Amino acid sequence: MWSHIYQAIDEQYEKMVETRRYLHQYPEVSFHEEETARYIADTYERLGIPFEKHVGGNGVIATLKGGKPGKTVALRADFDALPIQEENDAPYRSKNDGAMHACGHDGHTASLLGLAEALVPYQEELPGTLVFLHQHAEEYAPGGAKPIVESGALEEVDAVFGTHLWVNTPTGVIQTARGPFMAGADRFEIKIQGKGGHGAQPHQTKDAIVIASQLVTSLQQVVSRRVDPLKTAVLTVGTFEAGQTFNIIADSAKLTGTVRTFDPDVQNLIIQEMEKIIKGTCTGYDAEYEFLYEKGYPPVVNHPEEADLVLQNAPNADANLKTEEIEPVMAGEDFAYYLLEKPGAFYFTGAQIPDHYYPHHHPKFDFDEKALPHAAKTLFQAFISYQDRLEN
């Protein structure tokens, strides 16, 4: 029934690529996406689709009301970049030093804009209302999703769907889970204050590097020895900053890292155990400390019925697509806030380049642009499947 729309989406492929490559050249990091937001708004103005700017910050939301009755479904794409210096040699490489679309958000935006342009000629055929939700600041907590929800933008929405181009997955494969899908993502910072001194007189110091090193080792035992083995958790120390030169014992050190969980009880247990270890270790070395723990995005927990719509119906959008239900991944996403408010699902759209595999957030990250129409078509299929389910 909707084959003509899927064809129209395919016909937007070159435009999607052009849009993606333009956005890739001019990335803007979280909370600084003014020009990107303006580009998105200008596109909807050109298409004649009503839109609102500055939603929850730099968010842009456009609304396409179909000519037939139905439900209102939001389709989300994020558009911020990362503070990374790009190392690719592609002709569309970043022109903004220190900023790069290293996670595919340029592709998310291009897919959703391409979908909107493909649907305009068929507006009267559509049931219900599509909300094109362009979100800023996914990469950096507190993120853009939470203030968008707090703005009331989802009050009239019945369901919400989103996808992430995923280079860990072959192009043509759609992946999600019925329930927990992505982990809650927290961050922490530990500052150690010891007493510095000459490298030849360690007995007169409180070596911050030794203390912090002990913490790195001890903290690894929180998950392995304190968390139920049947629960999922990750505790990673990502940075270790200390010292000035080879013959001076450091008086201070700083550790930063992340904790990933799905269960709030596990999250709280880890915080308590970290505090015990840090306090005990520093007390033993007669050093002072500061422990800062920031609870970040909650886990992405798909609503089972909406996730099932994706798994069962995505191939209807393109016969070359196949779906897989996968185990949850430990990456975080602030799409979680939408799912706390409304039914919906988040899923991965495979976008792997076989001969150019670099993970998300890598300075040589890139994705298969053939996945752009896959993302657009499966988002539209989710919208239609939701309408059809309610009718039946």
Nearest to 323 by CA among 310, 340, 304: 310
Say if residues 237 and 214 touch (Cβ distance below 8 Å).
no
Distances (CA, A) of 299 to 168, 181, 208, 232: 20, 8, 35, 12
Would you give the DSSP letter of residue 299?
A: P
Give ∠ CA 326-135-143 in degrees, rounded to 5.
Answer: 80
The rounded distance, in Å, linking the Cα atoms of 155 and 341 is 9
Which listed residue (138, 186, 207, 366) is catalytic? 138
Our answer to whether residue 138 is catalytic in this structure is: yes
Residue 177: phi and psi, rounded to 5, are -140, 150
Within 8 A by CB and 6+ apart from 390, the residues are 70, 71
Which listed residue (33, 80, 207, 368) is catalytic? 80
Our answer to whether residue 106 is catalytic in this structure is: no
> How would you class 391 by CB atoms within 10 Å of its CB: exposed for 0-12, middle for 13-18, buried for 19 or more?
exposed
Annotated ligand binding at 361? The verdict is yes
The rounded distance, in Å, linking the Cα atoms of 275 and 10 is 54
Within 8 A by CB and 6+ apart from 341, the residues are 149, 154, 160
Annotated ligand binding at 203? The verdict is no
Distances (CA, A) of 136 to 53, 143, 153, 155, 285: 11, 8, 14, 19, 44
Annotated ligand binding at 139? The verdict is yes
Nearest to 187 by CA among 254, 236, 252: 236
Residue 75: phi and psi, rounded to 5, are -120, 120
Annotated ligand binding at 54? The verdict is no
Annotated ligand binding at 360? The verdict is no
* Residue list for the binding site: 103, 105, 139, 164, 361
Please give the positions annotated as active site: 80, 138
* Residue list for the binding site for Mn(2+): 103, 105, 139, 164, 361
